[in-house]
Chains A and B, each alone.
Chain A
Amino acid sequence: MSDLMTKSPAASGSASAGPGAGAPPPRRRRVDPTARGVWPFALPAVLVTAVLVLVPVAYTIWLSVSDRQSDGTNSGFLGFANYAEMFGNPQFWNSLKVTLFLFVVCLLVETVLGLALGYVMSLDVPGRRIFQGMMLVPAITASVAVGLVWLLIMDPSLGAANQILAKVGIDPVVWLGDPDIAPWSIALVDIWQWTPFMALIISAGIRSLPEEPFEAAALDGASGWRTAWNIGLPLLRPVLTVAMLLRTVDLVRFFDTIYIMTQGGPVNSTNTLNVYGYNAGFVDHEPSYAAALQVALLVLVIMIAGGFTWFRQRASR
């Protein structure tokens, strides 16, 4: 037994093909004797996942087409009245707008800044790991802590941001109290929290790029920028799309830091679909309407993620 233990799995690497997870790489199908009889082991996880994921989704869909009251009674099937109410409610369209605004702004800035930071992180210099460690912190710090720190930084009268602005002679900014500014401030916090995450994926991608094309370009006397744009970026596209897809899924259901910092305000200027849905269910006590919103949000996530995947497959063809 112990001699098996000493054999590090990392050292073997014979079967370490793809990144695993959802899509194992297509391998030549051969009868694998070790695969026999393992089925039952997955049963508990399959059952639990089914109950935990599929049942809530099904129940939410049921809620959305029925009429559950806040006192717990449900007068039964209602058809699509909740959806009709949703599409007729300007608040829904506002939330959709806010969600898409944050999605576009954050994804754009996080990708561009992430490329810059990712490039810096990929360079082999002494201290690289320490720097990478610091850059990891925003992504794994609890959103509650992130929200609280930024609430303090963005406090209108006492906050660090305005103190710094005052030093350079800029008037204080009402970061979170002004409906025109609040969405940008929320975007700023998300960009702070998730750009290093993008950079991390990108830097790992850069480090695994082949060297030959770059050497060839250098021999041809191409400039650094041209090489990066014409050779680096296209080679990096698969990694970049994965990173953007991960962020997309999270941005469309943006909730945590918003709920902590503004709860959707002021004047609904940061009221994303997910925050709106939560408030409809747990503040306004309209579970069926909230369910319709959640179904709409799920459809939106799947549509955007699906579109992304489709685009990616088409582009790689």
Chain B
Amino acid sequence: MTKRLSGVYAAYLVFAVIFFGPVLFMLWSSLRNNVDITGSLFNIASPLTLENFTNLFERFEFGRYIANSFIVAGGSTILGLVLGAPAAYVVVRRKLAALGFVTLLARMAPGVLFVLPLFVLSIRIGGPDSVALNYALLIVAHLIITLPLCIWLLVPFFEEIPISIEESTLIDGANAWQRFRRIALPLALPGLSVALTLSFIFSWNYFLFALALANERTLPLTVIAFNFIGQGSNDFGGLMAASTLISAPALLLTVFAQRWLVRGITGGAVK
């Protein structure tokens, strides 16, 4: 038995080095200076510093990029929940498959397909010149990610609510909205937190829409980090610090909400 156990842990170690190693490498590199990063991988004793992070905030307006990411991810998540929760409820109560198909289409369509029309629209309404309009466009674009995801994640939670609980309120003469608002929604609260966290992360991570649509003042973290590649290609420490900041919400989530995450990224493929 112990022989089998050590075999499993040996496999753990191999897989962890392969799949978690690069993440550790990113975190570690974000804390080393450039000479050490490019000097030797094997110099483990090299000094650690927070300089890469402080540089980001001093030389660039990193605070604003973070705020931009928050605005877009937060806005699209809240909108996705407000629209998605009632819709998921209807999908469950009416056993609706058609909406599922459209959300599937949203999942399968290449992102560029959405970006072209949005870009044309953006130019027509003056999106590139207006900060407020640009935020609005980005939030709406990210709704393509968050709305299907919210519906997808919430459906199983509404399915778990026994119909008998709701039926009992029929006698009190509660109308459909009251049943949803006062009974179904509170019972689905765990699901709402799952959907909130996951769609925030997915929206935060998403790259393409902001790449094509954001203007100078609304650039989120993902795109500014990409723009860095061209500008300071030798500043690996800065790039790794930026990567670490981008990854922070996802990393925190893995530590605190692993079970939700499994459910979320497998998208209901397994329970």
Contacts and interface: CB of A to CB of B under 8 A. Distances in A.
Contacts of A4: 165, 183, 186-187
Contact of B102 (A36, A53, A281): A53
B128 interface: no
A142 B268 contact: no
A282 interface: yes
Contacts of A148: 26, 225, 229, 239-240, 242-243
A52 B96 CA distance: 19
Given A23-B100, A152-B239, A246-B267, A56 B118 contact: yes
Interface string A282-298: 10000100110011011
Contacts, number: 352
Nearest to A202: B270
Given A120-B15, A140-B261, A142-B207, A48 B83 contact: yes
B41 A140 contact: no
A102 to B, nearest CB: 14
B123 interface: yes
A137 B16 CA distance: 11
Nearest to A160: B41
B102 to A, nearest CB: 5
A53 B106 contact: yes
Contact of A287 (B102, B116, B177, B246): B116
A145 B26 contact: yes
A48 B99 CA distance: 12
A155 B246 CA distance: 21
Task: Please report whether the interface of chain A is mostly helix, strand, loop or mixed according to DSSP.
Answer: helix
Contacts of B111: 253, 255, 274
A13 interface: yes
Contacts of A294: 110, 112-113, 116
Interface in B49-98: 83-84, 86-87, 89-97
Contact of A144 (B102, B159, B190, B225): B225
A195 B140 contact: no
B117 interface: yes
B144 A42 contact: no
Interface in A140-185: 140-145, 147-153, 155, 158, 160, 163-164, 167
Given A160-B41, A201-B266, A255-B110, A56 B117 contact: yes
Contacts of B84: 45
A27 B159 CA distance: 12
B239 A243 contact: no
Contact of B269 (A158, A201, A260): A201
Residue among B89, B95, B253 with max Cβ neighbours from chain A (10 Å)? B95
A38 B20 contact: no
A42 B99 contact: yes
Nearest to B101: A22
A242 B269 contact: yes
Nearest to A301: B108
A91 interface: no
B207 A15 contact: no
A32 B240 CA distance: 55
B22 A5 contact: no
B87 A41 contact: yes
A160 B148 CA distance: 39
A315 interface: no
Contact of B160 (A15, A117, A205): A15
A203 B232 CA distance: 42
A133 B229 contact: no
A7 B186 CA distance: 11
B136 interface: no
A10 B96 CA distance: 22
A294 B109 CA distance: 9
Given A33-B170, A140-B254, A253-B111, A45 B267 contact: no
B106 A49 contact: yes
B19 A196 contact: yes
A267 interface: no
B143 A52 contact: yes
A295 B112 CA distance: 10
B125 interface: no
B37 interface: yes
A167 B253 CA distance: 36
B236 interface: yes
A155 B37 CA distance: 12
Contacts of B173: none
Contacts of A72: 120, 123
Contact of B159 (A8, A20, A33, A305): A20
Nearest to B143: A52
Interface string B150-189: 0110011101111101110010000111011011001111
16 contacts: A19-B156, A32-B163, A38-B94, A52-B140, A138-B22, A144-B226, A148-B243, A149-B243, A153-B25, A195-B19, A278-B112, A290-B112, A290-B116, A294-B110, A294-B113, A297-B113
Given A45-B147, A137-B23, A255-B110, 15 more contacts: A4-B186, A7-B187, A19-B270, A35-B93, A45-B99, A56-B117, A135-B15, A140-B253, A144-B205, A144-B222, A148-B26, A148-B239, A249-B108, A274-B110, A278-B115
**Which 4 pairs show the lowest CB-CB distances between chains A and B?**
A22-B100, A45-B87, A41-B86, A37-B176
